[in-house]
Amino acid sequence: MNTSFLARNIKYLRNQKNWSQQDLADRLNRVHATISKWETEKEVPPLETLVELSKLFQVSIDYLVGNHYEEEHYVKEFNQLYQINKTDEELMQIVDYLKQHPNFKEILHKYTTQSIIDRKVFEEMMGIYVKK
């Protein structure tokens, strides 16, 4: 099991609910430090707790431990969302890269939320031209 996926998913799902670590600890009858240890990969929750977490967050244990989607599933959802009718091999490679480099997703998100002027400056610096 890849503990980094588990740690990130616990933190992500907790944040989605706008819960503090103490809020989650209270719901699971644990102490705050336990949640912190899970989210920093210092400890792994026992199986019984994974079951509790999956029920609490309404996700599967597979999702919690990082087995939630394969590239094809991501691409299928993306294609459905953007009404693309064919498999896009480049998109599958991008999804795979994002799975392997979660920090890049944050960087990309920051870029997409910048003002148009800031994006143009960045694109010029990087020698990138993005068609609108």
Among 1-15, 58-72, 79-93, the least confident range = 79-93
| CA–CA distance, 66 with 99 (Å, rounded to integer) | 10
The CATH number given to 3-65 is 1.10.260.40
pLDDT at 4: 81
72-98, pLDDT tens digit by residue? Answer: 566 666 666 666 666 667 776 777 777
| CA–CA distance, 129 with 132 (Å, rounded to integer) | 9
Is residue 65's pLDDT more than 80? yes
Per-residue tokens: 90: 């480049």
pTM (two decimals): 0.54
Q: What residue spans define the domains of the chain?
A: 3-65, 71-126
Task: 42-48: list long-range contacts, CB under 8 Å, 24+ apart.
Answer: 44/1, 44/3, 44/6, 45/6, 45/10
pLDDT at 23: 96
